[in-house]
Amino acid sequence: MDVHESIEDLRAGLRSRPHPVVLVPTMGALHEGHLSLVRAARERAGAAGTVVVSIFVNPSQFAPHEDFDAYPRPLLQDLDLCRSVGVDVVFTPAREVMYAPDASVRVLEEQLSQGLCGRSRPHFFSGVCTVVAKLFHIVQPEAAVFGEKDFQQLAVIRRMVRDLAWPIDIIAAPIVREPDGLAMSSRNQYLDAESRRQAVVLHQALQRAREAVLGGARNPQALREQVVAEIQGAPLARIDYVEVVDPDALTPLPSIANQVLIALAVRFGSTRLIDNLCLRKLPA
Ligand code: PAF
């Protein structure tokens, strides 16, 4: 496995690597969820293709009050994990490699990024689009893999790629969960024992919502209230948002027809967790 810190070295290393090249952008602190993205990348690349993982905690997607400094950076452990799942190339740029001190260009998506996480983290999606655009230009992959836990991020990146006509397939990988249902996240390690115990409520609330919708519930407001009430049953949970939206437009649904996304962000102490449930092809 090659590890490159500079854009020049990475480009030189990739010149001799076979195509297709499939990229998995990450911020490190890798867990089983990331490894599932790598497996999806390998499936797309085939045994002969090249799987590239980038590890970069991207400052431009954090607001000043957020956890950029505290974000875990277990690089040696991450490299071992990459090796263990057969990654070919890892790109670990320093901040100065990705951003010149006077960097002044940002990539903005102006529709899908407005609601949900974009409302409470207004800087977030322009930071993600900017860094992912740059990674795409550096690596020039045929495909890239993103997790469905960050459903809105996936939608925004698909839109960026479509609108800028980049020849890159965006592959969605399903949410990977802990045995009790909590969606895997690098931020789960911030949770104290009691918050970790209560955080399972997010998955439970989404599971009940799934049962309700599959049982015929079609009123978005009532569904939202059900999810909110369930989460509020966990004393440490502080809801940032719970929304029932169309999974393509990410806008509120007047009524549920054949598809629905229930997306949520909830804080336990200073740790903000996200999760979602997307149901498509619902019977009328
Ligand atoms: O999902 C993430 O880990 C990050 O937002 C990403 C896509 C690597 C961009 O920094």
| Pocket test residue of 53, 106, 153, 171 for ligand 1, highest count of atoms within 8 A of CB | 153
Residues annotated as catalytic are 34
pLDDT at 284: 77
C-alpha torsion sign, points 25, 30, 33, 39: positive
Angle between helices 7-15 and 124-139 (to 10 degrees): 40
Instruction: Give CA angle at 151 (220, 172), nearest 5°.
Output: 130
What is the CATH code for 2-173? 3.40.50.620
How would you classify the pairing of strands 260-268 and 237-245? Answer: antiparallel
- Using DSSP's 3-state secondary structure scheme, residue 234 falls into coil
Q: Distance from CA of residue 277 to its chain's centroid?
A: 14
DSSP 8-state assignment for residue 204: H
| Pocket test residue of 92, 132, 185 for ligand 1, highest count of atoms within 8 A of CB | 132
Task: Give me the residue spans of the domains in the chain.
Answer: 2-173, 186-280
The torsion angles phi and psi of 178, rounded to 5 degrees, stand at -65, 165
- Report pLDDT digits (tens) over 99-124: 999 999 999 999 999 999 999 999 99
DSSP 8-state assignment for residue 28: S
Residue nearest to atom 9 of ligand 1 (CA): 128
- How many Å lie between the centroid of ligand 1 and the Cα of residue 127? 9
Q: What are the pocket residues of ligand 1 if the criterion is a CB atom closer than 6 Å to any ligand atom? A: 25-27, 58, 61, 128, 131-132, 150, 153
Closest atom of ligand 1 relative to the 58 alpha carbon: 10
Nearest CA to 184 among 173, 169, 171? 173
**CB-CB contact of 97 with 7 (8 Å):** yes
Task: Report d(CA 122, CA 114) in Å as an integer.
Answer: 8
Residue nearest to atom 2 of ligand 1 (CA): 26
Would the pLDDT of 283 be above 90?
A: no
pLDDT at 70: 94
pLDDT at 150: 98
Tokens of 188: 């789960």
pLDDT at 242: 98
What one-character-per-residue DSSP string does 198-253 give? HTTHHHHHHHHHHHHHHTT---HHHHHHHHHHHHHTSTTEEEEEEEEE-TTT-SB-
- Using DSSP's 3-state secondary structure scheme, residue 198 falls into helix
Would the pLDDT of 256 be above 80?
A: yes
Tokens of 88: 């070919």
The reply to whether CATH 3.30.1300.10 applies to domain 186-280 is yes
List, in sequence order, every residue forming a beta bridge with 25; answer none if it has no partner. 54
